[in-house]
């Protein structure tokens, strides 16, 4: 089936490629005062958006785009911020999901605090255009490997976060991608957020090779086969009450039941809006409030600490989140 394209929103302004933590310039402005003494005042921090080109070990896209949005915080705080990797749907691009999310994120941070760095990678492919954010059976696309190795190591270079300070989020196909990548790598992602996601294989362009010849690959891409790792992460399952896409309708509730069976910690959210970026934008305040970040201490150069896996929840958490006014 064909998924709905909620539309793209371009971001016209991009800043040059450079290290994220060095983007907030601490230029001091000297202001004269009545007593003829000079007083220096640091300018207010500004949010930044950086476009990165990150190599990928694949044939379709040997070099992929990643956009890193850092909220308006002091430069000294940037290494302490959690990081959320945000996956677009199909058809879709990073620009589309950025256009829906950045303004609501800034507003939610101003209201609730709890800021984080948002990372928007490009998960498109050429040979298998419905990539499912996966490593394809033929190696033409290696998107999961690229994201969990090159992207994390580049974005977080020098300040690698533990899983408790890293989350993965996705919309539509990206919701499936966030779920299956999070299940494959619980040591990397302490929290998983799906917006209009699905939890079954939907291999429209044969990325998994088909059940007849590549059954093991299909099994590897089936979320229910990894329930044993599901309780190592917190889950936010969102689905619009007006989303009647056959692949997606009822998926959040069905996956919630499976999470409950393994005592996973999860929340179900239901909002109006259909399969659109309007629905995505309206969910942002609820997500910001829901995310649970422990206090992050930036690692010292020597010795380098080993990132720790997120703790296993001791009980399930189920609730329905109402729309935020």
Q: Cβ(116)–Cβ(293) under 8 Å?
A: yes
C-alpha 191/C-alpha 165 separation (Å) is: 9
pLDDT of res. 18: 37
pLDDT digits (tens, 9 = 90+) for 60-97: 899 999 999 999 999 999 999 999 999 999 999 999 99
Task: Please name which of 284, 280, 276 lies closest in space to residue 245, comparing C-alpha atoms.
Answer: 276
pLDDT of res. 38: 62
Tokens of 155: 């974005």
**Could you confirm whether domain 20-293+307-321 is CATH 3.40.50.1820?**
yes
> What residue spans define the domains of the chain?
20-293+307-321
Task: Please name which of 152, 150, 146, 203 lies closest in space to residue 176, comparing C-alpha atoms.
Answer: 203
Q: Cβ(115)–Cβ(81) under 8 Å?
A: yes
Q: What is the DSSP string of 170-227?
A: EETHHHHHHHHHHHH-TTT-SEEEEES---S---TT-SS--TTT-HHHHHHT-GGGGG
Q: Which residues of the chain have pLDDT under 50?
A: 1-36, 298-325
pLDDT of res. 51: 98
The label of the residue with tokens 């939890």 reads 199
C-alpha 74/C-alpha 234 separation (Å) is: 29
Q: What are phi and psi of 221, to 5 degrees?
A: -95, 10
Q: Cβ(141)–Cβ(135) under 8 Å?
A: yes
pLDDT of res. 43: 77
Q: Cβ(68)–Cβ(15) under 8 Å?
A: no
The label of the residue with tokens 């300018």 reads 43
SS3 at position 261: helix
């Amino acid at each position: 089936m064909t998924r709905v394209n909620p539309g793209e929103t371009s971001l016209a302004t991009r800043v040059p490629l450079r290290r994220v933590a060095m983007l907030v310039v601490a230029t001091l402005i000297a202001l004269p005062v009545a007593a003829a003494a000079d007083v220096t005042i640091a300018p207010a921090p500004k949010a930044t958006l950086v476009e990165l080109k990150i190599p990928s070990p694949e044939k379709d896209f040997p070099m992929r785009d990643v956009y890193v949005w850092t909220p308006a915080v002091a430069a000294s705080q940037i290494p302490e911020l959690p990081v959320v990797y945000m996956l677009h749907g199909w058809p879709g691009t990073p620009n589309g999901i950025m256009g829906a999310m950045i303004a609501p994120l800034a507003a939610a941070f101003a209201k609730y605090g709890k800021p984080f760095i948002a990372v928007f990678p490009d998960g498109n492919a050429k040979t298998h255009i419905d990539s499912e954010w996966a490593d394809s059976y033929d190696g033409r696309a290696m998107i999961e490997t690229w994201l969990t190795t090159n992207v994390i190591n580049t974005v977080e270079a020098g300040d690698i976060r533990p899983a408790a300070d890293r989350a993965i989020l996705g919309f539509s196909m990206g919701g499936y991608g966030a779920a299956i990548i999070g299940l494959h790598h619980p040591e990397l992602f302490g929290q998983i957020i799906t917006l209009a996601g699905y939890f079954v294989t939907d291999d429209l362009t044969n990325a998994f090779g088909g059940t007849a010849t590549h059954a093991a690959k299909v099994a590897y891409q089936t979320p229910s086969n990894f329930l044993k790792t599901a309780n190592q992460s917190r889950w936010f399952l969102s689905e619009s009450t007006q989303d009647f896409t056959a692949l997606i309708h009822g998926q959040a509730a069905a996956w919630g039941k499976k999470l409950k069976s393994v005592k996973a910690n999860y929340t179900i959210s239901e909002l109006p809006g259909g399969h659109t970026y309007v629905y995505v934008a309206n969910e942002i305040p609820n997500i910001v409030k829901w995310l649970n970040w422990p206090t992050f201490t930036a690692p010292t150069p020597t010795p380098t600490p080993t990132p720790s896996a997120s703790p296993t929840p001791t009980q399930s958490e189920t609730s329905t989140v109402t729309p935020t006014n």
